[in-house]
Structure 1
Amino acid sequence: MSPASTGAPRSAWRLLASGWVPAGLTALFAVLLLKAYGVGLTDLALFSGYILVVVTLPGLLLWRALRRKAGPIALDIAAGLALGYPLSVFVYIGFRAAGVPQLAVVPSILVVAAFALVPGLRRHWHGSGERAPLWWSWILAGFVVALFCWTAIDFFRRNGTSWPGNSQPYQDMVFHLALAAEFKHHFPAMIPYVVDEPLHYHWYYHAHLAAASWGSGIELQTLLFRLGLMPVLAGFVVLTAYTAKAVVKTWWSGPVVVFFTLVGTSWFNTVGTGWMLVNLWISPTQVFAAMIFGALAYLVVDLLPRAATKGEWLLFVLLAAGVAGAKATFVPMLLAAAAFVAAVGLVFRRRLDRTALIATALTALVFVAAMLLLFRGGSAGMRIVPFAMRGPAESYAEMTLRIVVGWLGVWAGVLGLVVAGRRALNQAVLFCLGLGAAAIGVVMLTSQPGGSQMYFLSSAKPYLVIAAVAGIAGLLGEPVRQWRRGLAVVLVAVMLGGALTNLKAYTKPVESTTKTGLRGYPRGTTGQIPRGGVEAMRWLRDHSSPGDLVATNVHCLRVTVPACDSRSFWVSAYAERRVLVEGWVYTDSAMKTAGTRKDYQWAPYWEPEILAANDRAFTAPSAESVDLLRDKYGVRWLAVDRRVPADVTGLAAVADLKYTDHDTLVFEVRR
């Protein structure tokens, strides 16, 4: 039945046949999901407005303007989001340093206004008219909904936003919250939970959360634990699919690459493959950077066969600078991949690849700038340790066999490139292989106490999968030969087999959900955060100045264990104030103290006299012990967890009790 015969307007039919319907239904699902997990409609509206006006629209318009063309609307929106994130962070840093973080939204509004009012810029509001197949849009929407569902059952369900549901969060989430709080009130930033420790870390996501909190008025906890990564996940799916399509030159490759990126693993998980779903929310910097790098990878793939404009190179630098501060793994891989493409062109094609050489040079500059300005020589405990993946009783031959067979379980399709030959090895495929080779090299040659070298493999995974799918597509192309198609089927079966052998890992959270319901929150009273802890720290935040220093009797993740796991960050996270010494892990000094030990979180504090003075004020309070904290270290407030040894009566005699809520008390040091 045609539109004319039913009397339906053609525009309505075009809308139904476009990707807007699956996109709209996906957004509606996200709203309902977030509402079910405690996010109010006001916060949803404020966050949506911030992401649209401050981040996405300026990024989209600048993406189109610098490329001098528009692309498919889904690609442009996702790329605009990816560009908008670092741009908004750069702007926020300037306004935060100037002491007016509330005004950081103004430049974005001015950019949108300029593109609306300046005649020469208005054309960038119009898309290219290019549409993806409808089946493609529905499948990608399905992947995004699946990620949202996984988010609910694997993270939202176990991490509430009020006590006791938030009493036992994954410890690194509180660490991220503390860093976001630091960037909300300070720049330059320091480690907030232990005094005088510099911050040598990829911190752009935390600065983004701080900017979003100022720009929307939403609590940092809501942004980190609920809202922040939702648009990032959608953007990652879209950018990964479009990059795959740009490399492989087929529409079907996009959903296939997204599928294996999300669930492809080694056989029986015998060796690490960068399994994204494991760290989907508990490592927000990884997913945030992966999405930004998705736009950069698409841009590189688009530029490699031709000469780039100055605007495109500016876009390259902006995205590279953004990803450099979002996650430390990506820029070294980008540098290696660009140099690899240039080297292959020189050796095998006997010509200099100008685009690859410029990309290499610009990436090198970004890398040096990041090392000097962001990381400043910090290594986070990473060391050159060749073959650290080898088991205690495993020979080098056994290790090699285990790793090769394991990695075939997710990237077997790369073997298709060997058969397809030079016809399949274009610059884009070489770029993907270069990213993968760099990541594999780092994993094989380095070690880090927390296993952080594996993040290189997580970062490269989508592009190794793209190379694998390109190999399979090469086998299916011309000339048509039955044995090549058979080999393609075998390689796909091997990759599917790798995913299926780990099916239990995917279904376990689902099974747990069916038993405990959609809210399997902690219900005990011995969690990391005491009853009344969040409320007390927020009172302290609202009744103190950002420059005030807090002392606390909390240093350990678990209050019932004699030895101290120093991953405690909740006081600095929720008070949004710096602490003399709370925890001390994840710092350069802590890594030096821990040395090569794997249980680095149990390493002692390297300034025992400070710790002793701190604890003496709580366990043996006196005018002298409290005044020492005030006069020598500048402490203004004392945060007490009753579950940890403290003489509350003695403290009340020498400091002013200002707030109490169940197990948490706040004292003000007398002047």
Structure 2
Amino acid sequence: MVDQVLASDPPPGQGAAPPADRPLTDRPPGVPGVGRRVVGVLRRVAAAGLWAAVLAGLVYAWRWTDTPTDDIRAYLVYWLAGLVLPGTLVHRALRGSRGNLPEDLGYGAAVGLVLELAAWALATATGAQSALRWWPVPVVLLFLVVPRLWRHWRVREPRPLPLRWHLAMAVLLGLIICWAAAQWEDLPLPPADFAYYQDLMYHLGLVQELTRGMPFELPQVAGEALRYHYLSDAHMASASLVTGSHPATVLLRLWLVPVAATAAVVTAGLARDLAGRWWVGPVGAAAAYLGVPLTLGSPVSAGGGLALSFASPSQTYMLPLLMLLTGLCVDLVRGRGLGPAWVLPPVLALACTGAKSSALPPLIAGLGLAGLVAWVRARRFPWRVLLALATLLAAMAAGYRLFAGGGAGVLVLQFFGLIRHMDPYRETLGVDDPIEIGGLLPPGVAAADGSTGWHVALGILGFWLVLQLPRLAGLLVTVSRGGRGDPAAWLLGGAVVAGTTACWTLFHPSASQLYFFAAVMPFGAVLTGWLLAVARPPWPVLLTAAAGGAAAQLLVPPLAEPAETVPAWQSAMADTAWRVLALVGAAALLAVLLTVLFGGRAVAGSAPDRPARGRGRWVAVANAGVAAALVGASVAEGVDLTVQWIVDEPRPPAAAERLVTADEMRAALWLDGRAGADDVVATNVHCQPVRTYENCDARAFWVTGLGGRRALLESWGYSDAVVAEHGRDGRSYPLQPAPDPEVYALNQRVFTAPAAGDLARLRHEYGVRWLFADTRAGKVSPALSRLAPIRFTAGPVTIHELP
């Protein structure tokens, strides 16, 4: 049953810090016992209704974006019965119940994702993919037949959360659904005349590949080993194998919201554990997954928008795993043992590394710092923390050997490298930067006269830090009375600093160093929520400050676009920074004045851990006001962007030459439905736009993505060999030539000047069975149809089969 709704937080040692709010009762003064039970039932019904509304909203969003009903039904059964149920049972067995059903199910879903990865690895290693759908059965049966495990079927020792928590989480998840629907609105399911973002088609090809058996290959370049953090794609491959839904439907629709919702619930649970107050959970999760950097009318954004990403499945999939792992680390640095839950850190750490290679390094840095703080504070060496640190390091090393490759090869040390992707530098000192990666400083900074380069670099860094204050202000917890002695605050704070430092000391030609910061955005948001709880000013103070921040973000007039000169950009950034500082000052002053107006009272029902007194008390109140204003502005901007995305006119289609036609997609889908699982296809489609020419952008990916089969040589833009050649001859890695010129020449010759010998070589030497010939991509000789029988034709595409 959904939990009772107005009880206190868990006691110490049972999943949370001591409750700071006075335990509430379901019975107002004078209400008899029968009335209390009636009120309790009504509140449980109301809470259940809120969660039902979230589920109904998700189903509506799927149907609104033309997701097939059968796929929706199958996916919901898969998610609830195949992930949440076994995961919840295992999590309760290892760590106990959270005391309330929603958090139990959220944490259970995160554990279910890890269990699914283990089942998928076993199935693909043994060729038993058809049996994958049955992996939850032995887990559930174990909890049915072993009497000792029966207790894990229910919430033992209920510690329910207030109805307001359920309402806040329902609103948060509803807004996440709206954000997802905004991504789907103009993204049709295939076949359609559409130009998909190339990374989505790349991931779709990986999803298709991971439904096959080990060892895995890079499907766009058959025969090359797959080295990539692909576990998000493994999750979607598992979902497709279990539900029978096409991988494109899973990727483009079904997987996103359940995983994001899991991350939100686990993050809210972590925030509640840290601060000891129920309301910090929804606030921290909202700041983490709805908030974006401030703009306040700035002509340029800071980059690093939402922690959630539709275009980067690996980033979103990593979040619930990382937050669950962080919760375990929090228990350790606070001196709590894990007991049987020690089995979770190594598997979660390996899963995080395999999901996103940038996830684990900041957490390792934070854990090391927290262990040092715990050692100094307790004057006893934290052996458990050391063991956890060794576990995470070993998992990262193993993950590097198993998964690392591709873009990681061009991630280099370069201080201020991020500015090379920002307009204030690109339009000024960086306007003539070469494509090559460069040295320890961006080329324009290194070549600037005098101290100009340093002034520009430091100015952009300061500007970026100011706009990221909603994710960074929470670092004040580490020096506040309520947090400076808590190693958990240093754990998250150290991770935030490490992620930020990596973002600004590394360079990647596609700005992938930002993912180090994206991994710690939720940590920063949780710390900011914790900062609100340190002072506990009256609720009207926090709500007024948050509303003021939101109003400032939404109503302040935009600044004019600056000229492309250093002084103009410095002036524009300074004006934005002054706006942010004015908001900070106004919020601090308003918080202090309103607290005085309310008599300096703390929130009713304060816990025994009394707030700071005297000047420290007012500093804490000012900090809380600033944090509330920053969260209000950040979330308001994120929600406003989503609303605009939904209500604005449909975005215009891509240029005709970039579109992949419905006929081309239909042909690829035909291939997916007819070819054998291990068949290899040769195609003349390599680039975007579709037509192939010398040094074109070799990132088409849709033949392998929609066609579902390995290609002899489709698109090589993300292959390890080509990525390593970034900058050669002044071209970025997607514009580099094919990695094997001989194979490329043979592949092209088969379509333009086919000969029986070349076709035989394809069939017997490279295992090619199908030819996917597209006249939009290049010349296709009429002689090909005489040498290889035609099996399907759609628009410009003809599919041939080699005997």
Contact in 1 for aligned 2:124/2:214 (Cα 8 Å): yes
1:434 aligns with 2:434: no
Q: Which residue identity lines up with residue 124 of structure 1 in the other structure?
A: H
Contact in 1 for aligned 2:284/2:526 (Cα 8 Å): yes
The one-character-per-residue Cα deviations of 1:515-568 (angstroms, maximum 9, x if unpaired) are 435xx5848754442332233223223332222211001000212585511111
Question: Who is 1:630 aligned against?
Answer: 763
Q: 2:112 aligns with which of 62, 84, 90?
A: 84
Say which SS state the counterpart of residue 192 (structure 1) adopts. Answer: coil
Question: Who is 1:295 aligned against?
Answer: 324
Change (3 A) 1:221 1:407: same
Q: 2:612 aligns with which of 478, 490, 497?
A: 478
Matches within 5 A, 1:533-544: 533-544=664-675
Deviation at 1:440, TM superposition (A): 1.5
Q: Which moved more, 1:238-247 or 1:416-425?
A: 416-425
Deviation at 1:435, TM superposition (A): 1.3
Question: Who is 2:51 aligned against?
Answer: 23
Change (3 A) 1:134 1:11: closer
Query: Given the two structures, how large is their TM-score scaled by the length of structure 2?
Result: 0.77
Change (3 A) 1:537 1:463: same
Question: Who is 1:122 aligned against?
Answer: 150
Q: Which residue identity lines up with residue 274 of structure 1 in the other structure?
A: G
Deviation at 1:419, TM superposition (A): 5.2
Question: Who is 2:285 aligned against?
Answer: 258
Deviation at 1:223, TM superposition (A): 0.5
1:414 aligns with 2:474: yes
Q: Which moved more, 1:218-227 or 1:134-143?
A: 134-143
Question: Who is 2:461 aligned against?
Answer: 403
2:334 & 2:35 partners in 1: Cα distance? Answer: 48
Deviation at 1:109, TM superposition (A): 1.0
Question: Who is 2:263 aligned against?
Answer: 236
Structure 1: stretches of 5+ with no match in the other structure: none
Q: 1:488 aligns with which of 615, 623, 627?
A: 623
Change (3 A) 1:573 1:305: same
Change (3 A) 1:561 1:96: closer
1:6 & 1:439 partners in 2: Cα distance? Answer: 52
Question: Who is 1:315 aligned against?
Answer: 344
Q: Which residue identity lines up with residue 718 of structure 2 in the other structure?
A: Y
Deviation at 1:460, TM superposition (A): 0.3
Say which SS state the counterpart of residue 214 (structure 1) adopts. Answer: helix
The one-character-per-residue Cα deviations of 1:168-196 (angstroms, maximum 9, x if unpaired) are 11111111100000011232211100133
Say which SS state the counterpart of residue 26 (structure 1) adopts. Answer: helix
Deviation at 1:225, TM superposition (A): 0.5
Change (3 A) 1:561 1:656: closer
Contact in 1 for aligned 2:266/2:320 (Cα 8 Å): yes
2:57 & 2:416 partners in 1: Cα distance? Answer: 45
Say which SS state the counterpart of residue 801 (structure 2) adopts. Answer: strand
Contact in 2 for aligned 1:380/1:587 (Cα 8 Å): no
1:222 & 1:3 partners in 2: Cα distance? Answer: 54
Q: Which moved more, 1:383-392 or 1:430-439?
A: 383-392
Query: Once the two structures are aligned, what percentage of the paired residues are identical?
Result: 27
Contact in 2 for aligned 1:273/1:461 (Cα 8 Å): no
Say which SS state the counterpart of residue 276 (structure 1) adopts. Answer: coil
Question: Who is 1:13 aligned against?
Answer: 42
Change (3 A) 1:415 1:314: closer
Change (3 A) 1:252 1:400: farther
Question: Who is 2:713 aligned against?
Answer: 581
Question: Who is 1:48 aligned against?
Answer: 76
1:23 & 1:380 partners in 2: Cα distance? Answer: 44
Moved over 6 A (4+): 1-11
The one-character-per-residue Cα deviations of 1:273-331 (angstroms, maximum 9, x if unpaired) are 63226x62111111110122122222222333234244111122222222221111112
Deviation at 1:347, TM superposition (A): 4.6
Say which SS state the counterpart of residue 263 (structure 1) adopts. Answer: coil
2:513 & 2:671 partners in 1: Cα distance? Answer: 38
Q: Which residue identity lines up with residue 725 of structure 2 in the other structure?
A: T
2:676 & 2:203 partners in 1: Cα distance? Answer: 21
Say which SS state the counterpart of residue 688 (structure 2) adopts. Answer: coil
1:275 aligns with 2:333: no
Change (3 A) 1:244 1:282: same
Contact in 1 for aligned 2:124/2:212 (Cα 8 Å): yes
Q: Which residue identity lines up with residue 626 of structure 1 in the other structure?
A: L
Change (3 A) 1:212 1:24: same
Change (3 A) 1:186 1:648: farther
Change (3 A) 1:539 1:406: closer
Deviation at 1:70, TM superposition (A): 4.4
1:342 & 1:429 partners in 2: Cα distance? Answer: 11
Q: Which moved more, 1:116-125 or 1:594-603?
A: 594-603
1:161 & 1:68 partners in 2: Cα distance? Answer: 42
Deviation at 1:485, TM superposition (A): 4.8
The one-character-per-residue Cα deviations of 1:354-405 (angstroms, maximum 9, x if unpaired) are 3321210111121122122222798242112222134435633543343245
Q: Which residue identity lines up with residue 262 of structure 2 in the other structure?
A: G
Question: Who is 1:111 aligned against?
Answer: 139
Change (3 A) 1:395 1:472: farther
Matches within 5 A, 1:455-534: 455-476=515-536, 477-479=611-613, 481=615, 483-485=618-620, 487-488=622-623, 491-492=626-627, 495-496=630-631, 499=634, 503=637, 507=640, 510-511=643-644, 513-516=646-649, 522=653, 526-534=657-665
Change (3 A) 1:122 1:95: same
Contact in 2 for aligned 1:556/1:567 (Cα 8 Å): yes
Structure 2: stretches of 5+ with no match in the other structure: 1-27, 420-424, 430-444, 446-451, 537-610
Change (3 A) 1:11 1:496: closer
Question: Who is 1:564 aligned against?
Answer: 696
Q: Which moved more, 1:356-365 or 1:623-632?
A: 623-632
Contact in 1 for aligned 2:684/2:773 (Cα 8 Å): yes
Query: Given the two structures, how large is their TM-score scaled by the length of structure 1?
Result: 0.92
Contact in 2 for aligned 1:175/1:573 (Cα 8 Å): yes
Change (3 A) 1:340 1:416: closer
1:545 aligns with 2:676: yes
Question: Who is 1:659 aligned against?
Answer: 792
Q: Which residue identity lines up with residue 380 of structure 2 in the other structure?
A: R
1:567 & 1:42 partners in 2: Cα distance? Answer: 32
Q: 1:100 aligns with which of 116, 128, 137?
A: 128
The one-character-per-residue Cα deviations of 1:410-452 (angstroms, maximum 9, x if unpaired) are 2453363365257544111111012112212211221112111
Contact in 2 for aligned 1:160/1:521 (Cα 8 Å): no
The one-character-per-residue Cα deviations of 1:558-605 (angstroms, maximum 9, x if unpaired) are 125855111111111122111011101222111112248783221222
Say which SS state the counterpart of residue 564 (structure 1) adopts. Answer: coil
Deviation at 1:6, TM superposition (A): 9.9
Contact in 2 for aligned 1:264/1:496 (Cα 8 Å): no
Deviation at 1:11, TM superposition (A): 7.1
Q: Which residue identity lines up with residue 236 of structure 1 in the other structure?
A: A
Matches within 5 A, 1:146-185: 146-153=175-182, 155-164=183-192, 167-185=194-212
Say which SS state the counterpart of residue 410 (structure 1) adopts. Answer: helix
1:556 & 1:176 partners in 2: Cα distance? Answer: 16
2:458 & 2:375 partners in 1: Cα distance? Answer: 31
Question: Who is 1:373 aligned against?
Answer: 402
Q: Which residue identity lines up with residue 452 of structure 1 in the other structure?
A: S
Q: Which residue identity lines up with residue 306 of structure 2 in the other structure?
A: M
Contact in 1 for aligned 2:409/2:724 (Cα 8 Å): no
Say which SS state the counterpart of residue 417 (structure 2) adopts. Answer: coil
Contact in 1 for aligned 2:478/2:489 (Cα 8 Å): no
Deviation at 1:247, TM superposition (A): 1.1
Contact in 2 for aligned 1:638/1:668 (Cα 8 Å): yes
1:189 aligns with 2:321: no
Change (3 A) 1:660 1:8: farther
Question: Who is 2:370 aligned against?
Answer: 341
The one-character-per-residue Cα deviations of 1:633-656 (angstroms, maximum 9, x if unpaired) are 222110012212222522112111
